[in-house]
């Protein structure tokens, strides 16, 4: 794994650990209750506004245009573009935030498939109004992060999640005697601290030049907006999953949203560590190859990235599936979080895990489309998949209950990435992807061979997970994780996965270098 990807992966892992600490404290204080569901629901409107200005995808649009100027050694024009687009979109976002703050309740009711209970709705409105201003910091900070990525600087941008989660934890702790308000206040404080102030400090030596320019008619602004339009109109995979939780979660009682969100956040840890770390680190190189029209090299890069990702992700997902119940029990089961909550969320997590494959692959593959400035292709595919899935969410509820949300979400994520990959290869040809099919087939066969064994083993271990002490459970989990991970990795090598073998050999070489004899 490249050094940049390792830096991002470690920081994201640290961020997710802090995120889990945040969820652990929330579980102890609130459990899977109406107030926790309200806090989760409160993020719906801020996230939608974030989506409208494409904050999550901002760097993918900004970097190719900004890099184009740097390649031509036109730094002055690069900074003119930076200031202009920041001002234009920043004002637009502000004009959205103000009415959203006043009409928070009406918007939440409009976007919920089932009206939340008055208890949830009232708290969600209050929390949402506290959280909303933080979107300005997320937006402005994303430009500063994108500038650093063009310079291959990844450390300080990767610390945003760490600072953000720390602020939420501290806010929740300080306000622990006032319900969950402290956690809500921690969001804007963390946003301004990690995304804005820290990134301003980190870019002080890059010569960033901001000026009060406001030219909507500028060709680069129009180009930016034209690239942003499909992202605004479309529905991304991650956004869709989170929206469904908040919109459909109320169908399953006051604890529905919170239970689904706990399980989703655990699955999302895998996506952050394995998917986003690779996607973010590799995107500047993708953009450069796309600019130079080196399609075969870009294909080869994608093939290697995806194959190496799956080589590690497959055994990890298998181990997490088996350890879902003790993992949830150890992390959350204390205070207001009950054994019943543990059983439900462990079940939901298992249904969510297949989505990790689709989301991790999309984190890399979607960026390849954006590197070629083909914004509409992934947007149309993901949006049509999301729109089609809405029918299945409703119909599957009668059969699978609350499990229908992660089940349909996982199927949709896998369908999306399969279509995206097929379209990419269809347009850019197979050169560079020759060995990927064989590698992927060994991933699939590994899971098919090991899953029945894990189902049997899970039945044998169930009674022990219920009664073992904390330390015994943790030790058993560590041992079983290593065994299952090793089994999954070894199975891929036995089935002829050359990428897994290469990753294993690289790991051995690193270990040997550390041994002094």
Q: What does the pLDDT look like over 298-313, one tens digit per residue?
A: 999 999 999 999 999 9
Mean pLDDT by 10 residues, the chain (517 residues): 62 75 85 89 89 70 83 85 90 94 94 86 95 93 87 82 91 84 94 92 82 85 84 73 87 89 91 79 82 88 91 95 95 89 95 94 88 85 88 85 93 93 89 86 94 93 88 94 94 91 81 65
Per-residue tokens: 123: 């708290």
To the nearest 10°, report the CA torsion of 204, 205, 211, 215.
-110
C-beta of residue 91 within 8 angstroms of C-beta of residue 148:
no
The candidate with the shortest Cα–Cα distance to 233, out of 378, 94, 39, is 378
Q: How far apart are CA 360 and CA 352, in angstroms?
A: 13
pLDDT score of 515: 66
pLDDT score of 514: 64
The candidate with the shortest Cα–Cα distance to 454, out of 290, 328, 315, 294, is 315
The candidate with the shortest Cα–Cα distance to 417, out of 284, 237, 251, is 237
pLDDT score of 113: 78
pLDDT score of 163: 92
Q: How far apart are CA 259 and CA 251, in angstroms?
A: 12
Q: How far apart are CA 450 and CA 452, in angstroms?
A: 6
Cβ atoms within 10 A of the Cβ of 461, count?
Answer: 18
pLDDT score of 56: 64
Q: What does the pLDDT look like over 263-296, one tens digit per residue?
A: 999 998 888 878 877 777 787 788 888 878 888 8
C-beta of residue 335 within 8 angstroms of C-beta of residue 29:
yes
pLDDT score of 3: 60
pLDDT score of 57: 67
Record the pTM: 0.82
pLDDT score of 9: 65
């Amino acid at each position: 794994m490249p050094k940049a990807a390792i830096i991002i992966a470690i920081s994201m892992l640290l961020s997710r650990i802090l995120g889990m600490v945040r969820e652990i404290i929330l579980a102890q204080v609130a459990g899977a209750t109406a107030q926790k569901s309200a806090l989760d629901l409160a993020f719906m409107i801020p996230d939608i506004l974030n989506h409208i200005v494409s904050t999550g995808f901002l760097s993918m649009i900004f970097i190719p245009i900004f890099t184009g100027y740097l390649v031509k050694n036109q730094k002055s024009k690069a900074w003119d573009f930076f200031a202009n687009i920041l001002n234009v979109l920043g004002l637009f976002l502000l004009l959205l935030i103000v009415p959203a703050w006043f009409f928070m309740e009406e918007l939440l009711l409009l976007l919920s498939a089932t009206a939340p209970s008055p208890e949830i709705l009232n708290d969600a409105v209050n929390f949402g109004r506290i959280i909303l201003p933080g979107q300005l910091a997320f937006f402005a900070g994303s430009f500063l992060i994108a500038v650093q990525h063009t310079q291959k600087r990844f450390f300080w941008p990767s610390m945003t999640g760490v600072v953000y989660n720390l602020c939420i934890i501290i806010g929740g702790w300080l306000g622990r005697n006032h319900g969950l308000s402290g956690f809500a206040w921690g969001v804007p404080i963390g946003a301004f601290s990690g995304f804005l102030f820290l990134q301003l400090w980190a870019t002080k030596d890059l010569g960033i030049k901001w000026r009060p320019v406001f030219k909507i008619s500028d060709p680069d602004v129009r180009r930016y907006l034209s690239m942003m339009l499909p992202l605004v109109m479309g529905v991304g995979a991650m956004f869709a999953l989170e929206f469904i939780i908040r919109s459909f979660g109320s169908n399953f009682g006051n604890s529905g949203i919170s239970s689904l969100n706990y399980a989703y956040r655990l699955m999302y840890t895998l996506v952050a560590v394995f998917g986003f770390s690779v996607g973010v680190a590799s995107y500047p190189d993708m953009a450069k190859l796309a600019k130079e029209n080196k399609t075969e090299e870009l294909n080869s890069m994608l093939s290697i990235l995806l194959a190496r990702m799956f080589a590690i992700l497959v055994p990890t997902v298998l181990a997490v599936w088996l350890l879902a119940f003790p993992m949830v029990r150890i992390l959350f089961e204390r205070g207001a979080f009950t054994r019943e909550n543990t059983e439900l969320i462990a079940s939901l997590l298992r249904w969510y895990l297949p989505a990790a494959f689709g989301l991790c692959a999309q984190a890399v593959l979607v960026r390849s489309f954006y590197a070629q400035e083909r914004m509409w292709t992934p947007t149309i595919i993901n949006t049509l998949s999301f729109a089609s899935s809405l029918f299945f969410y409703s119909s599957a509820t009668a059969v699978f209950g609350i499990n229908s949300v992660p089940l349909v979400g996982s199927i949709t994520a896998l369908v999306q990435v399969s279509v995206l990959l097929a379209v990419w290869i269809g347009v850019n040809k197979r050169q560079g992807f020759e060995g990927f099919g064989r590698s992927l087939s060994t991933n699939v066969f590994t899971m098919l061979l090991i899953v029945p064994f894990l189902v049997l083993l899970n039945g044998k271990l169930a009674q022990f997970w219920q009664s073992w002490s904390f330390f015994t459970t943790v030790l058993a989990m560590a041992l079983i994780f290593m065994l299952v991970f090793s089994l999954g990795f070894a199975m891929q090598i036995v089935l002829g996965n050359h990428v897994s073998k290469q990753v294993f050999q690289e790991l051995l070489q690193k270990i040997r270098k550390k041994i002094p004899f």
